[in-house]
Chain A
Amino acid sequence: MTTVLEPPSPEALATAPTDDTGLMRRPIEPKGVWSWITTVDHKRVGILYGVTAFIFFLAGGIEALLMRLQLAKPDGTVLGAEAYNEVFTMHGTTMVFLVVMPLSAAFFNYVMPLQIGARDVAFPRLNSFSYWAFLFGGLFLYSSFLLGGAPDGGWFGYAPNTSITFSPGHGIDFWIFGLQILGIASTVSAVNFIVTMLNMRAPGMTLMRMPIFSWMTLISSFLILFAMPVITIALFLLSFDRNFGANFFNPAAGGDPVLWQHLFWIFGHPEVYILILPAMGMVSEVLPVFSRKPLFGYPVMVFSGIAIGFMGWGVWVHHMFAVGLGPVAVSAFSLSTMFIAVPTGVKIFNWIATTWKGSLKLTTPMLFAMGFIAMFTIGGLSGVTHAVAPHDRQQTDTYYVVAHFHYVLFGGALFGIMAGIYYWWPKIFGTMLDERLGKLNFWTWFLGFNLAFGPMHLLGLQGMPRRIYTYDKSLGLDFWNMASTVGAFIIAFSVCVFLYNIWRSHKRKRVKAPADPWDARTLEWSISSPPPHYNFAEIPTVHALDELWHRKYTEDDEGRPVRVEAVEAADDDSEPGNGHGEDHDEHGHGIHMPSPSYYPLVAAFGLPVMGYGMVYGRSSGQSYVVVVLGALILLAGLFAWAMEPSAEPEEDGHGVVELASGGEPALVAAAGPAALEAGGQEESEPVEGASGAPTDSGRGDPGPEGPGA
Chain B
Amino acid sequence: MATKEKSLAHEEPVTPAPEHHHATNTGLSNEKLAMWAFLGSECLLFGALISTYFLYRGRSLEGPTPEEIYDIPYTSVSSFVLLMSSLTMVLALAAIQRGDYRRLRVWLLATALLGASFIAGQVYEFTSFIREGLTIKTNLFGSSFFVLTGFHGVHVTLGIVMLLSLWNLSLRGSLTQDRSEVVEIAGLYWHFVDVVWIVIFTVVYLIPT
Contacts and interface: CB of A to CB of B under 8 A. Distances in A.
13 contacts: A6-B162, A7-B158, A14-B169, A229-B44, A230-B44, A233-B52, A256-B56, A670-B20, A678-B17, A681-B31, A694-B4, A695-B8, A697-B4
B162 A7 contact: yes
Name the 3 nearest CB pairs between A and B, nearest first.
A233-B48, A691-B23, A246-B143
B110 interface: no
Interface in B126-157: 136-137, 139-140, 142-144, 146-147, 151, 154-155
A538 B166 CA distance: 37
Interface stretch (A101-109, A188-196, A412-420): A188-196
Contacts of A237: 52, 147
A244 interface: yes
B179 interface: yes
Interface stretch (B33-41, B66-74, B116-124): B33-41
Contacts of A691: 23-25
Interface string A647-677: 0000000000000000000000110101100
Contacts of B186: 10, 14
B24 A13 contact: no
A254 B4 CA distance: 63
A494 interface: no
A248 B31 contact: no
Contact of A672 (B16, B35, B40): B16
B139 A253 contact: yes
Given A3-B154, A699-B13, A199 B30 contact: yes
B30 A683 contact: yes
Contacts of B15: 669, 672, 674
Contact of B23 (A194, A229, A692): A692
A227 B43 CA distance: 11
Interface stretch (A57-65, A129-137, A200-208, A366-374): A200-208
Contacts of B5: 698
A240 B147 contact: yes
Contact of B26 (A2, A5, A199, A674): A199
Contacts of A705: 1
Contacts of B40: 225-226
B31 A9 contact: yes
Contacts of B162: 6-7, 10-11
Contacts of B158: 3, 6-7
A256 B55 contact: yes
Interface centre among B7, B17, B21, B25 (most CB of A within 10 A): B25
Contacts of A122: 30, 34
Interface string B175-203: 10011011001100100000000000000
B23 to A, nearest CB: 4
Given A9-B34, A194-B37, A199 B7 contact: no
Interface of B: 1, 3-5, 7-8, 11, 13, 15-18, 20-21, 23-26, 28-31, 33-35, 37-38, 40-42, 44-45, 48-49, 52, 55-56, 59-61, 136-137, 139-140, 142-144, 146-147, 151, 154-155, 158-159, 161-162, 165-166, 169, 174-175, 178-179, 181-182, 185-186, 189
A191 B44 CA distance: 14
Contact of B61 (A3, A190, A253): A253
Nearest to A11: B165
Nearest to B27: A199
A236 interface: yes
Interface string A196-224: 00111101101000000000000000000
A674 B19 CA distance: 12
A231 to B, nearest CB: 9
Contact of B30 (A244, A247, A681): A681
B147 A229 contact: no
Given A6-B189, A705-B1, 10 more contacts: A3-B155, A9-B31, A10-B162, A10-B182, A191-B41, A201-B25, A229-B44, A236-B147, A245-B136, A678-B17
Contact of A226 (B23, B24, B25, B44): B44
A204 B8 CA distance: 10
A657 B21 CA distance: 24
A669 B8 CA distance: 17
A167 interface: no
A700 B61 CA distance: 75
B144 A248 contact: yes
B38 A191 contact: yes
B29 A684 contact: yes
A255 B178 CA distance: 53
B42 to A, nearest CB: 7
A688 B13 CA distance: 14
B174 A16 contact: yes
A198 B26 contact: yes
Contacts of A199: 24-26, 28, 30, 33
A123 B32 CA distance: 12
Interface centre among A6, A16, A237 (most CB of B within 10 A): A6
Contact of A2 (B23, B42, B60): B42
A9 B185 contact: yes
Contacts of A248: 52, 56, 140, 143-144, 147
B8 A694 contact: yes
Interface in A1-52: 2-3, 5-7, 9-16, 19
Interface in A232-261: 232-234, 236-237, 240-241, 244-248, 253-256, 259
B136 A246 contact: yes
Given A254-B60, A692-B16, A195 B41 contact: no
A678 B30 contact: no
Contacts of B8: 694-695, 698
Contacts of B35: 9
A228 B44 CA distance: 9
A32 B164 CA distance: 40
B33 A198 contact: yes
A680 B20 CA distance: 11
Contacts of A234: 48
Contacts of A263: 48, 52
B98 to A, nearest CB: 18
